[in-house]
Amino acid sequence: MPRVSQEQLDARRREILGAARSCFARHGYEGATVRRLEEATGLSRGAIFHHFRDKDSLFLAVAEDDAAAMAETVARNGLVQVMRDLLERAAAPDTAGWLGSQLEVSRRLRTDPEFAKRWAQRSAAIAEATRERLHRQREAGVLRGDVPLDVLTQFLELAYDGLVLHLAMGRPADDLGPVLDLVEEAVRRR
């Protein structure tokens, strides 16, 4: 039997995550049955669960993947850039998958105490990346100095959550660029 390289395994894992993200977004956690996950990925349950212990681990991996990408963007360019990227995605066909997985994480945080415990360890990375970015920006003289960093962090997180809800409700995204400009101006030194 030919040996599968780590690169091939990693590529397969990424494929599974992408297809599962769309499946969870479309059907919710409960509705994303193993059969639907098989259909979405084009793989057997054995192939899927070779990479992930169970459906819960697969969902958590999707959410972690999204959170890691978000934390990386925040660290590099700030939370407002994440919001701008989200607006760009609003016009793209894969947005429903990403947005849907964000909404499913929110729902599970409210309804599943075990998931909330597991997720708390991971979600702190985004908040920490935001605080570190704001701290660097304040040190560089870019941010306003009259508001504590924790308040600025909460303000930006609230704006992000509001944008996600706005998009989830199907409201238009094409006119929100100036709103994000205002959010960015609100945290900058005048």
> Residue 53, Cβ neighbours under 10 Å: how many?
11
pLDDT, averaged per 10 consecutive residues of the chain (190 residues), comes to 80 92 85 94 92 91 85 88 84 61 82 86 80 92 93 92 85 89 92
The residues with which 143 forms a beta bridge, in sequence order, are 188
Q: What's the whole-model pTM score?
A: 0.78
Identify whether 113 is part of a domain.
yes
Identify whether 26 is part of a domain.
yes
Identify whether 178 is part of a domain.
yes
What per-residue confidence (pLDDT) applies to 115? 85
Structure-token match 């958590």, residue found: 60
Residue 94 lies in domain: 6-187
What per-residue confidence (pLDDT) applies to 180? 95
State the total domains in the chain.
Answer: 1
Identify whether 1 is part of a domain.
no
Identify whether 64 is part of a domain.
yes
